[in-house]
Each structure stands twice: as structure tokens, then as C-alpha cells.
Amino acid sequence: MCEPFDNNEKKNNQEKPEQRNPTNCSNPDAKKKRKRKEVAIFGNYRNYYGYRIGQELDEDPRLKVMKKEWFEGKDCLDIGCNSGIITITIAKKFSCSSILGVDIDGARIDDAQWTLKKIVKRSCKMQSTTNKPAEENSATELQSDLRRRVSGNSDRGGDLFHIVSFEKGNFVQNWHPPKNTLYHAILCLSVTKWIHLNWGDDGLITLFSKVWRLLHPGGVFILEPQAWISYSKNRLVSKTATDNYQNIQVGPEDFQDILLDKIGFRTVENITSGLSGSKTGFNRPILAFWK
């Protein structure tokens, strides 16, 4: 967001170079004032996976608790896909028939499209190196960011364009899939807090109801809710969030009962016990609900 232009600043900018204070450019305090924390009112952080996964991890730890049979040969949906890392990785690691990532932020969808193109290009490049003698394969290629971030069947890289897709959309308010489309698996990872803060209890119930309607019988809803303390930390991102925070009656501890007793899911499996390696601040439960 642009800041109001100050007339005094305009005058200062018109001064000759020798009239300016050269120490301003190297003053750490001045730099600190200019650097602002990113505000993402929908949780649509630009480098979300960068600080969630980090450089030291081979892949997102959450993938280790998910089972291939939930996705293999099936149609899947990822709500709040951000830059698409999880979406693409699931397609490769678990061999989806199709997977669609939806995000409210068009800039994150652009990031996801770019990520997909980069991964396909690198997958094809890695495939071509398998026909070279071992001594010709560089260490850089063998330890590339692709292999670190996206494990799985690299020989299917060219097919990813037919398997993975991304759409901008507000899932709660106005996004709808093509008519008669249902999914076998729907993911909603670290998204409920942002829906709750922006659309209140009604928005949360809409999310859960819509997910249930879009699932095939026997389908799985994989949910990673944020704890209530996390709401408190983000309640000031907007006036809407502040107002909704004060009026929320349904807490994260109530989600399981609502999904089972009111929405209609028949069983739930807490798969958190198999989760390890999460970075500090991201130790969140992961629940699998079955329709």
C-alpha cells in the first residue's frame, strides 16, 4: 500500500546530492523503520512455505502422515493452496488423477503457476540426465531444489500440466467447481483460522458444509486447524478480523464435534501422532474426516 506523499519529503528529494546526509543510506535505524512486517489478512503470505518448511527439511512434514491410497488415481482439491507446493507435491508423491488448488489471492495463484512450470521443467531435465553416464550428472542436478522440495515420480513431470491446476477463488463465498464435480480428497491445511477471522462462525460452517457436499461418499477431508492462541495473534490484521474475533462462539476445539454431529461426517482419524519435524509454531493437529 502506498503511503501519503509528504510535501517536506518532496522538497528533500529535490535537494542536490551534496546537500543530503550521506549517513541516511547506511543508518541501520532508518532501514529498520522502512522494513515493515508483511500483513496478509487472508493468511496469503508470499513466502509461506519458505519459513514453514525451511531450507533444512527435505519435504513438508505433513506429507509423511498422509496415505497414498487417499489420493492415488483420485480427484483432489486443495483449499487455500498458496504457492502450490503442497498441491504439486501430492500430485507427484501420491499419483493423483487430478488435483485443483484454489486460493483467494490471485498473486499466490500466479506463484503456483510459476512453481508448476519450474517443477515440470526441472523434472524433464532430471529425466534427461538418466540417459547420461553417471560421471556427466552434476551434483547440482542430483541435489536440486526439485528433489529437495518435491519428491516422488519425476518421470511423470510432463504429465503434471494435465494433473495439476490452480484457480483464484473465494471458496466460502462464491467459488464453485464445474457442475456435478465431486472430489475423493479435500485438503484444508492451516486455513480455518483465516476463514474464521474474515467470515466468522457462519463462514466456518459454510466451509465445512460445502466440503461435505463436494466429497464423494467415502471421501476424506484432511483438516489442519490452528489453535485459538493463533487467532489472538492475528486478530488485528483488519477491522473485520477484530470484530469477528470478538464474536466467535465456535472454537477450534469444537470443530470435530461439529463435523461429526452437525455436518454429517461418519468417522475421524487423528493422524497427528505420526507427525514429526515440524518447525516451532507449526505443531498443529491433522485430522482426517470420512464421509
Question: Which of 91 and 128 is assigned the larger pLDDT?
Answer: 91
Site of grid cell 476445539: 253
Residue 236 lies in a domain: yes
Asked whether the predicted pLDDT for residue 11 surpasses 80, the reply is no
In the chain, the percentage of residues whose pLDDT exceeds 70 is: 68
What pLDDT sits at residue 149?
A: 44
Closest Cα to residue 90, out of 119, 110, 111, 114? 119
Question: Which of 135 and 217 is assigned the larger pLDDT?
Answer: 217
The CB-side HSE value for 72 (13 A sphere, CA atoms) comes to 8
Residue 2 lies in a domain: no
> For 229-256, how does the pLDDT look when each residue is reduced to its tens digit (9 = 90+)?
999 999 999 999 999 999 999 999 999 9
State the pLDDT confidence band at 280, using cuts at 50, 70 and 90: very low
Average pLDDT over residues 198-222: 98
Rounded-to-integer distance, Cα 195 and Cα 8, Å: 42
Average pLDDT over residues 90-111: 96
Residue 36 lies in a domain: yes
Residue 104 lies in a domain: yes
Asked whether the predicted pLDDT for residue 144 surpasses 70, the reply is no
Beta-strand pair 215-224/287-290? antiparallel
What pLDDT sits at residue 15?
A: 42
Q: Where are the alpha helices (DSSP H) in 15-155?
A: 28-34, 48-53, 85-94, 106-129, 139-142, 145-149
Dmax over Cα atoms in the chain, in whole Å?
Answer: 74
How many domains does the structure of the chain reveal? 1
Asked whether the predicted pLDDT for residue 203 surpasses 70, the reply is yes
Beta-strand pair 164-168/98-103? parallel
**Residue 289 buriedness (CB in 10 A; 0-12 / 13-18 / 19+):** buried
Under a CB-based contact definition with an 8 Å cutoff, are residues 155 and 125 in contact? no
Asked whether the predicted pLDDT for residue 200 surpasses 50, the reply is yes
Residue 1 lies in a domain: no
Residue 286 lies in a domain: yes
Average pLDDT, the chain: 79
**Structural domain that includes position 95:** 7-290
Asked whether the predicted pLDDT for residue 275 surpasses 90, the reply is no
Residue 126 lies in a domain: yes
State the pLDDT confidence band at 9, using cuts at 50, 70 and 90: very low
Under a CB-based contact definition with an 8 Å cutoff, are residues 245 and 275 in contact? no
Rounded-to-integer distance, Cα 259 and Cα 263, Å: 5
Asked whether the predicted pLDDT for residue 61 surpasses 70, the reply is yes
Domain containing 247 — which CATH number? 3.40.50.150
Q: Which amino acid is at 283?
A: N
Asked whether the predicted pLDDT for residue 18 surpasses 50, the reply is no
Closest Cα to residue 187, out of 94, 66, 275, 41? 66
* φ, ψ of residue 250 in degrees (nearest 5): -100, 115
Which range of 41-55, 56-70, 74-88 scores highest in mean pLDDT? It is 74-88
Asked whether the predicted pLDDT for residue 163 surpasses 80, the reply is yes
Asked whether the predicted pLDDT for residue 34 surpasses 90, the reply is no
What pLDDT sits at residue 133?
A: 53
Residue 213 lies in a domain: yes
What pLDDT sits at residue 284?
A: 85
* φ, ψ of residue 290 in degrees (nearest 5): -110, 135
Asked whether the predicted pLDDT for residue 128 surpasses 80, the reply is no
> For 112-125, how does the pLDDT look when each residue is reduced to its tens digit (9 = 90+)?
999 999 988 887 77
Asked whether the predicted pLDDT for residue 50 surpasses 70, the reply is no
State the pLDDT confidence band at 47, using cuts at 50, 70 and 90: low
Under a CB-based contact definition with an 8 Å cutoff, are residues 104 and 197 in contact? no
What pLDDT sits at residue 102?
A: 98
How many Å separate Cα 95 from the centre of its chain?
Answer: 19
Under a CB-based contact definition with an 8 Å cutoff, are residues 270 and 287 in contact? yes
Non-local (6+) Cβ contacts of 91 within 8 A are 99, 160, 163, 164
